[in-house]
């Protein structure tokens, strides 16, 4: 295909430079002359051979390709509603070519980031969480990306967020034409090393994206192509056993057993053995909360018991030892208390406190969130906190609300109530419910349980977290409700709010 640099398409898009080329498409950086001041966009030309005798504007195949192109464009338009996926600005056909015009994401791709230095375990987990949140949205649209790899993940300069680009579905259009060629069987969507077996056989599914993301995380930790790093059954907290001796020095990041196990499961060869959804991986990543590790207390070695104590002033010596121990330990105890109080104070900086004496509860909530007292005797809802409206198009505001209800007469244990609540959720005929495994935790110094489930409200996909505990024959429930695509955006604030609940 000849270069079109310097040309003006549709009297609007001036082609400035080539960004990339593959067997499927050529991508250019362009100026949108209709949007002053200079606004950049990306123009992608879907590539196929004109030499195909059946390919002409009057052929049946061309009509089929047009329909396929329009369908894929509509899909990209829908996906572009996510803030970390490029918006589709325009699509058109000109001179036997299909063109897509997308938002230009200015930033560095993961290959460039890793070239400057390997990602740490914390950075890799953050990368996984960012991309999995996007994938959760993509999979809700019944779309499989099919081409997750380092070059298709861009850290956007203006907000440092990871963006997902270059969906593989568009490449199907090129494959439809080239499928009649003799070497078409060698054309696979995706990059070698990142494509799972089922996708190579032409049967991708949602777990195929999870596999590719797992391989991408391995690359971020090691800078090695995935086919050179076999993560399966690796030794704890190191990838070194999978590299040659001359490759092991300063070429990879050590990782914990927890992340090792998660990555191992993401890249299983058999897709049935992988995590079956992006939410399942996210749940696993958030399962282990941050822990502050304190240094061991300073201890003074006790006197040698084999030595005989002098036969004088025994009780006086014991008192002196007790006083000495107290003087030695007291500064460390005071420092520890100050340290813990400092952590707690910093944790809740930017939070306000709500107190309700009728229900004997206290809870901290983010200051920008609005508050509405309900005290509804029918539903048991006491108060609701709502996130600030982000824009005019923000149709659903995330909420945290507290409910207090009487414990049913025939229920005495938390596990019994948890079963009742789960059945109540599952049996609700109004919603399509997907419930995730329950988990025990502590809330207000009491044993509590957590349940997460997804449902739809007025066509909006919702993810809901409920934590509940029992106190004095009453059930206290704190619920965090968010649009599924934004669930993790406010989860940290929600968790802090929930953990601050005090039941007097």
Which sequence positions are flagged as catalytic? 147
b/e 285-306 (16+ beta carbons within 10 angstroms → b):
beeeeeeeeeeeeeeeeeeeee
The DSSP string of 195-219 is S-HHHHTT---HHHHHHHHHHHHHH
Are the CB atoms for 72 and 170 separated by under 8 Å?
Answer: yes
Nearest to 471 by CA among 446, 451, 449, 450: 446
CA–CA distance from 135 to each of 279, 283, 294, 484 (Å)?
Answer: 9, 14, 37, 11
| Structure tokens, 455 | 């449902």
Cα-trace Rg, the chain:
29
Nearest to 404 by CA among 470, 320, 496, 314: 470
| Structure tokens, 168 | 């593989």
H helices of 303-366, in order, are 314-347
Backbone angles phi, psi at 479, to 5 degrees: -120, 130
- Backbone angle region of 11, left / alpha / beta, with phi > 0 → left and psi within -120 to 50 → alpha: left
């Amino acid at each position: 295909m000849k270069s079109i640099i310097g040309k003006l398409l549709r009297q609007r898009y001036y082609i400035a430079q080539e960004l990339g080329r593959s067997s499927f498409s050529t991508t250019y950086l362009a100026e949108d002359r209709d949007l002053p001041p200079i606004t950049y966009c990306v123009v992608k030309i879907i590539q196929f051979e004109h030499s195909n005798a059946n390919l002409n504007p009057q052929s049946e195949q061309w009509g089929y390709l047009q329909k396929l192109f329009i369908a894929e464009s509509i899909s990209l338009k829908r996906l572009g509603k996510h803030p970390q996926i490029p918006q589709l600005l325009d699509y058109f056909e000109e001179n036997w070519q299909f063109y897509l015009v997308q938002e230009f994401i200015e930033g560095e791709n993961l290959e460039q980031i890793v070239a400057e230095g390997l990602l740490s375990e914390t950075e890799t987990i953050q990368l996984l969480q960012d991309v999995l949140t996007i994938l959760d949205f993509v999979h809700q649209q019944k779309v499989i990306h099919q081409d997750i790899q380092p070059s298709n993940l861009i850290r956007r300069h203006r907000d440092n967020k990871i963006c997902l680009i270059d969906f593989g579905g568009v490449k199907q259009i090129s494959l439809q034409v080239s499928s009649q060629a003799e070497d078409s069987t060698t054309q696979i969507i995706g990059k070698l090393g990142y494509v799972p077996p089922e996708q190579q056989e032409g049967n991708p599914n949602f777990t195929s994206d999870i596999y590719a993301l797992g391989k991408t995380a391995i690359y971020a930790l090691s800078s090695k192509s995935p086919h050179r790093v076999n993560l399966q059954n690796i030794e704890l907290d190191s990838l070194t056993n999978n590299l040659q001796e001359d490759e092991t020095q300063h070429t990879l990041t050590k990782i914990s057993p927890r992340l090792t196990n998660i990555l191992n499961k993401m890249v299983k060869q058999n897709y049935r053995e992988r995590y079956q959804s992006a939410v399942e991986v996210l749940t696993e990543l958030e399962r282990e909360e941050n822990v502050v590790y304190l240094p061991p207390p300073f201890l003074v070695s006790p006197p040698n018991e084999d030595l005989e104590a002098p036969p004088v002033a025994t009780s006086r010596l014991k008192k002196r030892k007790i006083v000495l121990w107290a003087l030695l330990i007291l500064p460390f105890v005071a420092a520890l208390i100050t340290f813990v109080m400092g952590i707690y104070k910093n944790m809740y900086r930017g939070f306000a406190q709500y107190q309700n004496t009728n229900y004997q509860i206290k809870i901290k909530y983010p200051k920008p969130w609005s508050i509405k007292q309900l005290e509804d005797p029918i539903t048991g809802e006491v108060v609701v906190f709502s996130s600030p409206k982000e824009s005019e198009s923000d149709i659903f505001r995330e909420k945290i609300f507290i409910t207090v209800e009487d414990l049913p007469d025939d229920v005495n244990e938390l596990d019994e109530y948890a079963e009742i609540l789960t059945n109540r959720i599952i049996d609700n005929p109004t919603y399509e419910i997907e419930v995730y495994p329950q988990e025990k935790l502590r809330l207000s110094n009491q044993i509590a349980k957590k349940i997460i489930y997804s449902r739809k409200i007025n066509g909006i996909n919702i993810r809901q977290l409920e934590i509940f505990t029992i106190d004095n024959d009453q059930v206290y429930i704190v619920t965090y409700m968010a649009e599924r695509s934004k669930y993790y955006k406010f989860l940290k604030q929600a968790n802090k709010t929930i953990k601050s609940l005090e039941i007097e």
